[in-house]
C-alpha cells in the first residue's frame, strides 16, 4: 500500500479511537501520514493522539479549549487550532482520505469541505447523508473522491455489492440488533432512563448512538443513509431484527440469491475496509466461531414499539428537507432524554410532530435551506419538550 495522508475528524470518540488503532494495525506511519486529528472538549486525549501519531495539526471544535490545547501541545511541534475555521482547515489539508466521525450535524460542514477538496471520505457520520443526502453526494462527485461507508451495515452492503452487478440488485436487508429493549413491552419502555438505554447488548459505541440504537432511531437513520448511498427506492430498503449482530447486512439479487457479510461486532472491521480499500488487509479482530455461535435468529421489527422506523419510511417517501428535520428534532429530543427532561417514547412523538408541522417547508435543499430547516426543527422540538 502506498503511504496516504489522512485526517481523522472526531478522533477522540469511539470511532476515532478505533480508527487510530486501525491505522496502527495497518502499519502506522509507514502506511499513513496523519495530517490532523480533531475533537471537541477532551483536549488532553486529543493532544496525546496528535503527539502519538505525529499529526501536523490538532483541532478542538470548542474555541474555549484553544488555550488548553495549546498548552498540552507545547514543545511537540503539533500546531493547535480551534473552532469552525480550524475544522475546515483540517478538511482541506491535501488529504487522500478523511475519516468523518464527528457525531451529529456538527460533522456536516467539515465533511462537505473535505469531499469538495477531493479526498476519499470514510463516512461514519451518517447524519451527513440523512440531512443532506443529495448535496453531500454531489460534493463527493464534484471533488472526485470515493465515498467509503464505515457504518457496519453499509460497509457490509458495500462489500457484497462490490463483486456483483449493481443492475441485479433487488433489495438491501439491513440488520438491527433490536437493542436493549427488543423484548420490552411498550408500557415498560415508557419508563426507561438513559442509563438503561445506553447499555447496548453487542456493540460498544458513543452515548448518543447507543441510545439511538435502543429507540431504533439509529436504524431509521441507517435506512435513509442506505437510500442515498446506494441510490435505492424506498421499497428496496428492508430491516430485519437479528439479535446476535453477526450478519452486518445483506443484499438480495434479481435471481433470488442473498449475499451477506458476517463478522464479530467490532467497528474496526468496517473501519479497516474503508481505510485500506480496495485492499483487504489482515486485522487483529476476533474471528467467528460458528460452532460456538450455533444459531442466528431473525424477527420482524415492531414499528409500534419502535415508531422511529415509521418516521424513516415517511422521510424516504417525502424526501426534500424531511431528513434534516427528522435528524435535528431527534437530536434535541435525545439531549432532553439524556438530561431526564423527556420520556423515551416521547422522542419519536416529538420528532414525528415536528416533521408533520414542517411538512410544507420549501423543497430547495441547498446548504442554507438545510441549516434553516435544521434550526427551525430544533426550535420546534425544544418548544414541544417545554410544553
Enumerate the known binding-site residues for Mn(2+): 151, 153, 222
Site string for ligand NAD, 185-214 (x = CB under 6 A): ------------------x-xxx-x-----
C-alpha cell at 202: 453487542
Site membership for ligand NAD, residue 127 (CB under 6 A): yes
Which positions make up the binding site for 1-deoxy-D-xylulose 5-phosphate?
126, 152-153, 177, 200, 213, 218-219, 222
Helix (H) or strand (E) holding 174: strand 169-176
Residues from 259 through 278 that contact ligand NAD (CB under 6 A): 267
Site membership for ligand NAD, residue 57 (CB under 6 A): no
CA distances from 346 to 74, 109, 174, 234, 330 (A): 47, 29, 25, 26, 10
Site membership for ligand NAD, residue 40 (CB under 6 A): yes
User: Which listed residue (39, 180, 252, 263) binds ligand NAD by CB under 6 A?
Assistant: 39
CB nearer Mg ion, residue 153 or residue 331: 153
Q: How far is the CB of 222 from Mg ion (least distance, A)?
A: 5
User: Which listed residue (7, 13, 198, 325) binds ligand NAD by CB under 6 A?
Assistant: 13
Strand partners, 6: 34, 97
Return the one option of ligand NAD, Mg ion, none that residue 283 interacts with (CB less than 5 to 8 A, by type).
none
If binding means CB under 6 A, how many residues of this protein chain bind ligand NAD?
A: 25
Residues from 90 through 109 that contact ligand NAD (CB under 6 A): 101-103, 106
Q: Which residues make Cβ contacts (< 8 Å) with residue 37, sequence separation at least 6?
A: 7, 8, 11, 12, 16, 20, 46, 49, 50, 53, 55, 57, 58, 59
CB nearer Mg ion, residue 13 or residue 80: 13
- What is the C-alpha to C-alpha distance for residues 271 and 311, in angstroms, rounded to an integer? 29
If binding means CB under 5 A, how many residues of this protein chain bind Mg ion?
A: 3
Which positions make up the binding site?
12-15, 41-42, 125-127, 151-153, 177, 200, 206, 213, 218-219, 222
Residue nearest to ligand NAD (CB): 13
Return the one option of ligand NAD, Mg ion, none that residue 132 interacts with (CB less than 5 to 8 A, by type).
none
Site membership for Mg ion, residue 225 (CB under 5 A): no
Residue 80 · residue 73 · CB < 8 Å: yes
Strand partners, 81: 59
Q: How far is the CB of 314 from Mg ion (least distance, A)?
A: 21
Site membership for ligand NAD, residue 124 (CB under 6 A): yes
Name the one residue in this structure whose C-alpha cell is 447499555: 199
Q: Which of 240, 289, 228 is nearest to 263 (CA)?
A: 289
Q: Which of 250, 4, 9 is nearest to 128 (CA)?
A: 9
Crossing angle of the two packed helices 14-25 and 43-52, in degrees rounded to 10? 10
User: Which listed residue (151, 331, 369, 376) binds Mg ion by CB under 5 A?
Assistant: 151
Strand arrangement, sheet containing 120-123: 79-82, 57-60, 32-39, 4-9, 97-100, 120-123, 147-149
Site membership for Mg ion, residue 212 (CB under 5 A): no
Return the one option of ligand NAD, Mg ion, none that residue 81 interacts with (CB less than 5 to 8 A, by type).
none
Q: How far is the CB of 154 from ligand NAD (least distance, A)?
A: 9
Burial call 84-120: b when 16+ CB within 10 Å, e when fewer:
eebbbbbbbbebbbbbbbbbbbbbbbbbbbbbbbebb
Name the one residue in this structure whose C-alpha cell is 412523538: 349
Return the one option of ligand NAD, Mg ion, none that residue 325 interacts with (CB less than 5 to 8 A, by type).
none
| 3-class secondary-structure state, position 240 | strand
Binding site for ligand NAD (CB under 6 A): 10-16, 39-40, 61, 101-103, 106, 124-127, 151, 203, 205-207, 209, 267
Binding site for Mg ion (CB under 5 A): 151-153
Amino acid at each position: 500500500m502506498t503511504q496516504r495522508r489522512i485526517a481523522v475528524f472526531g478522533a477522540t470518540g469511539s470511532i476515532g479511537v478505533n480508527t487510530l488503532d486501525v491505522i496502527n494495525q495497518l502499519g502506522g506511519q509507514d502506511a499513513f501520514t496523519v495530517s490532523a486529528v480533531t475533537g471537541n472538549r477532551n483536549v488532553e486525549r486529543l493532544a496525546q493522539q496528535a503527539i502519538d501519531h505525529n499529526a501536523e495539526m490538532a483541532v478542538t471544535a470548542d474555541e474555549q479549549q484553544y488555550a488548553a490545547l495549546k498548552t498540552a501541545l507545547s514543545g511537540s511541534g503539533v500546531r493547535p487550532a480551534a473552532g469552525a475555521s480550524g475544522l475546515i482547515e483540517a478538511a482541506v489539508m491535501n488529504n487522500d482520505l478523511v475519516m468523518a466521525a464527528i457525531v451529529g450535524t456538527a460533522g456536516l460542514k467539515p465533511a462537505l469541505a473535505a469531499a469538495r477538496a477531493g479526498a476519499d471520505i470514510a463516512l461514519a457520520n451518517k447524519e451527513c447523508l440523512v440531512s443532506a443526502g443529495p448535496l453531500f453526494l454531489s460534493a463527493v462527485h464534484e471533488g472526485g473522491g470515493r465515498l467509503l461507508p464505515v457504518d457496519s451495515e453499509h460497509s457490509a452492503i458495500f462489500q457484497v455489492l462490490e463483486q456483483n452487478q449493481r443492475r441485479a440488485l433487488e433489495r438491501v436487508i439491513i440488520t438491527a440488533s433490536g437493542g436493549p429493549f427488543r423484548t420490552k413491552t411498550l408500557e415498560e419502555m415508557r419508563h426507561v432512563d438513559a442509563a438503561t438505554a445506553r447499555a447496548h447488548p453487542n456493540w460498544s459505541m458513543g452515548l448518543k448512538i447507543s441510545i439511538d440504537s435502543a429507540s431504533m432511531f439509529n436504524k431509521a437513520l441507517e435506512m435513509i443513509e442506505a437510500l442515498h448511498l446506494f441510490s435505492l427506492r424506498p421499497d428496496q430498503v428492508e430491516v430485519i431484527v437479528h439479535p446476535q449482530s453477526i450478519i452486518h447486512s445483506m443484499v438480495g439479487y434479481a435471481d433470488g440469491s442473498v449475499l451477506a457479510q458476517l463478522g464479530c461486532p467490532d467497528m474496526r472491521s468496517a473501519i479497516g475496509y474503508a481505510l485500506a480499500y480496495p485492499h483487504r488487509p489482515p486485522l487483529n479482530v476476533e474471528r467467528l466461531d460458528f460452532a460456538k455461535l450455533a444459531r442466528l435468529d431473525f424477527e420482524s421489527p415492531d414499528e409500534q414499539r419502535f415508531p422511529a422506523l415509521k418516521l424513516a419510511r415517511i422521510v424516504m417517501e417525502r424526501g426534500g428537507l424531511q431528513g434534516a428535520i427528522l435528524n435535528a428534532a431527534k437530536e434535541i429530543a435525545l439531549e432532553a432524554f439524556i438530561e431526564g427532561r423527556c420520556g423515551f417514547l416521547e422522542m419519536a412523538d416529538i420528532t414525528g410532530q415536528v416533521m408533520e408541522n414542517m411538512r410544507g417547508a420549501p423543497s430547495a435543499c441547498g446548504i442554507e435551506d438545510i441549516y434553516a430547516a435544521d434550526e427551525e426543527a430544533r426550535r420546534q422540538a425544544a418548544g414541544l419538550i417545554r410544553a
